[in-house]
Copies of this chain bind each other. A is one copy, B any other.
């Protein structure tokens, strides 16, 4: 036995046979590993003849080229960015808004020649922070997480560059948002200007916990993140119109989906049958709300008006607040790349514009009070 077994249990030669590595190729050609590395990464550092010879032998040996992981370790870069969502992995593919953001990210990434890593998370379980802890990436784009979310905390602990989209807004972090307050303020104001006197609100989740039902006035300040901003926007418009915010019913939907909007609207109509105008914090919720209204015999916009948010329900003819979702993604990538470039940067908070898009789901309220008519 010329060779004695190595600690790792396999003999070097045997290992070599399994799968060619860079030094394997080097030995076969009879040059140093550096030259093989250069053949792949810096063609100008060696003669064309040698390079040719190296690549040929590599092909013969079935060497698949430098191992990305080893290269990343040595270089200290991985060439890919991670995107983190608060929900399970399939979520971004079910919510058209999240998809638009993702699409923007994808567009930005394509230019930057980086890959995108989607890390699975779950809303409730802290079980699998593992995925974000173990993601071999250069930076994070964090979408719509709450500050106390475990996923977010783990991402922070990684000490990598982070760009936050849609909150949370944290000390030294870059952040890209819209002015959510102004958005819903415009939505509510639109209804009020049309003459509506009784507004209802269908909000997305107010906190990290799943909750459903009417939100009493004294609990509204507990809302966090985007929902809080949007709620405040509604309040501002309602108060500016001289109406009572406390008497305005706010209904919390269990999630951002058509079904949850449907259920929320039913509850809203049960709680306050006099509502003639509804501000929904998502187009999906608005679509569900319209269905629920129709089931009660209420025609949109003649009997009741609905304003959505995001402008993602293409075929629904919905009055809504448009926000540049894809742009958020693009900017996030752009910014992250800047951060990665190493130049020290002061954190930036970019606020993107929103726009009220008036379509066919809003109109003046019925002339006769609906309550009287019934």
Give the interface of A toward B (CB within 8 A).
19, 62, 64-65, 67-73, 78-80, 82, 88-90, 92-94, 99-100, 102-103, 106-107, 109-110, 113-120, 122, 128, 130-131, 133-136, 157-159, 315
Knowing A72-B136, A78-B136, say if A89 contacts B117 (CB, 8 Å). Answer: no
CB atoms of B80 and A117 under 8 A apart: yes
A135 CB contacts on chain B under 8 angstroms: 68, 80, 115
Count identical subunits in the complex. 2
CB atoms of B113 and A69 under 8 A apart: no
Residue among B65, B69, B70, B116 making CB contact with A117, cutoff 8 Å: B116
CB atoms of A159 and B117 under 8 A apart: no
Given contacts A80-B117, A89-B110, A90-B107, 19 further A-B contacts (CB under 8 A): A62-B159, A64-B158, A65-B157, A68-B133, A69-B69, A69-B73, A69-B78, A89-B107, A89-B109, A90-B106, A92-B106, A94-B103, A113-B120, A114-B131, A115-B117, A115-B120, A115-B135, A117-B117, A136-B136
Residue of B nearest to A134 (CB): B68
A-B contact pairs, 7 of them (CB 8 A): A64-B157, A68-B135, A72-B136, A82-B115, A94-B103, A113-B130, A116-B118
In the assembled complex, the CB of A98 is this many whole angstroms from the nearest CB of chain B, namely 10
9 nearest A-B residue pairs (beta carbon): A93-B103, A89-B110, A68-B136, A89-B106, A90-B106, A116-B118, A315-B315, A90-B107, A69-B73
Residue among B110, B134, B158 making CB contact with A88, cutoff 8 Å: B110
In the assembled complex, the CB of A360 is this many whole angstroms from the nearest CB of chain B, namely 15
In the assembled complex, the CB of A95 is this many whole angstroms from the nearest CB of chain B, namely 11
CB atoms of A120 and B110 under 8 A apart: yes
In the assembled complex, the CB of A30 is this many whole angstroms from the nearest CB of chain B, namely 24
Bound complex: CA A134 to CA B315 (Å): 41
In the assembled complex, the CB of A103 is this many whole angstroms from the nearest CB of chain B, namely 4
CB atoms of B119 and A115 under 8 A apart: yes
Q: Which of A102, A106, A107, A119 has the most CB of B within 10 A?
A: A106
Bound complex: CA A214 to CA B134 (Å): 51
Residue of B nearest to A121 (CB): B110
Residue among B64, B65, B93, B115 making CB contact with A131, cutoff 8 Å: B115
Bound complex: CA A100 to CA B119 (Å): 18
CB atoms of A134 and B94 under 8 A apart: no
In the assembled complex, the CB of A87 is this many whole angstroms from the nearest CB of chain B, namely 10
A158 CB contacts on chain B under 8 angstroms: 64-65
A100 CB contacts on chain B under 8 angstroms: 93
Residue among B71, B102, B115, B130 making CB contact with A93, cutoff 8 Å: B102
A109 CB contacts on chain B under 8 angstroms: 89, 120
A82 CB contacts on chain B under 8 angstroms: 115
In the assembled complex, the CB of A247 is this many whole angstroms from the nearest CB of chain B, namely 37
